[in-house]
Chain A
Amino acid sequence: MSLADVCLGFILLGITAYAVLGSADFGAGFWDLTAGGARRGGRIRGMVERSMSPVWEANHVWLIFVLVILWTAFPVAFGSIFSTLSLPLFLAAIGIIFRGTAFALRGQAATIKEARVLGAVFALSSVLVPFFLGATIGGVASGRVPVGNAAGDLVTSWWNPTSVMAGLVAVLTGAFLAAVYMAGDSQRAELPDLVRAFRARALGAGVVTGVAAAVGLIVLRGDARSLYDSLTSGFCLSMVIVSGLGGLGTIALVWSERYGLARVTAAVAVAAIVVGWLVAQKPYILPPHLTIDQAKASHATLAAVVIGVAAGLVILVPSLWFLYRLVLQGRLDHEYEPLDQRFRL
Chain B
Amino acid sequence: MNAAVFAQQVVETLGAPKQPDTVLARQMQAISLAVHIPIVCFGIAFPAMFLFVEGLYLRTRDKTYKALAKRWSKVSLILFAVGVVTGTILSFEFGLLWPNFMATFGQVFGIAFGLEGISFFVEAIFIAIYVYGWDRLSDRAHFLTGVPVVLSGFAGSFNVIAVNGWMNDPTGFNVVGGKVVDPRPWAALVNSNMWHELIHMYLAGYLVAGFIVAGVYAYAWTQGRRDHYHRTGLVVALSFAALAAPVQIIAGDWAGRTVAERQPVKLAAFEGLQQTTKGAPFSVGGLIEVPHMLSILAFHDPNATVQGLEIVPPRDRPPVTVVRVAFQTMIAIGTGLAALGAWFFLIWLRLRRMPRWPWFYRAVMAAGPLAYVALIAGWVTTEVGRQPWIVYKVMRTEQAVTSSSGLAVGYVVLLLVYAGLGAAVYWLLRRLTRRPATADVR
Contact = CB atoms under 8 A, between A and B. Distances in A.
**Do A and B have CB atoms closer than 8 angstroms in the complex?**
yes
Interface of A: 53-55, 57-58, 60-61, 63-65, 67-69, 71-73, 75-76, 78-84, 86-87, 89-90, 92-94, 96-98, 100-102, 104-105, 108, 110, 147-151, 154, 297-298, 300-301, 304-305, 308-309, 311-312, 315-316, 319-320, 322-323, 326, 331-334
Given A87-B406, A104-B82, A97 B417 contact: yes
Interface in B191-217: none
Contact of A332 (B108, B124, B136, B186): B136
A162 to B, nearest CB: 21
A111 to B, nearest CB: 11
Contacts of A57: 80-81, 84, 124, 127-128
5 contacts: A64-B91, A65-B114, A75-B107, A79-B100, A89-B96
B311 interface: no
Interface in B69-113: 78, 80-82, 84-89, 91-96, 99-100, 102-108, 110-111, 113
Label chain A's interface by main secondary structure.
Answer: helix
A331 B95 contact: no
B304 to A, nearest CB: 39
Contact of A76 (B13, B402, B404, B410): B13
Q: Which of A96, A149, A154, A332 has the most CB of B within 10 A?
A: A149
A301 B428 contact: no
B232 to A, nearest CB: 24
B85 A97 contact: yes
Given A54-B128, A148-B14, A316 B111 contact: no
Given A100-B81, A319-B126, A53 B185 contact: no
Interface in B383-428: 402-406, 410, 413-414, 417, 420-421, 424-425, 427-428
Nearest to B12: A149
A94 B88 CA distance: 10
Given A86-B404, A104-B82, A80 B103 contact: yes
A214 to B, nearest CB: 32
B137 A331 contact: yes
Given A58-B128, A108-B431, A304-B185, A149 B99 contact: yes
Contacts of A110: 431
Contact of A93 (B89, B114, B124, B185): B89
Interface string B7-37: 0000011111110000000000000000000
Given A76-B13, A93-B89, 4 more contacts: A54-B129, A67-B92, A319-B122, A331-B133
Dominant SS among interface residues on chain B: helix
A326 B14 contact: no
A104 B428 contact: yes
A137 B106 CA distance: 21
The 6 A-B residue pairs whose C-beta atoms are closest, nearest first, are A72-B110, A82-B95, A75-B106, A79-B103, A297-B107, A79-B99
A308 B111 contact: yes
Contacts of B432: 108
A81 B17 contact: no
B402 to A, nearest CB: 5
A316 B114 contact: no
Contacts of B84: 57, 60-61, 100
Contacts of A319: 121-122, 125-126, 148
A301 B125 contact: no
- Kindly name the residue among A58, A89, A98 whose own CB sees the greatest number of chain B CB atoms within 10 A: A58
A79 B113 contact: no
B133 A305 contact: no
B96 A65 contact: no
A262 to B, nearest CB: 25
A240 B263 CA distance: 56
B132 interface: yes
B431 A94 contact: no
Given A73-B107, A96-B88, A104-B78, A68 B113 contact: yes
A86 B96 contact: yes
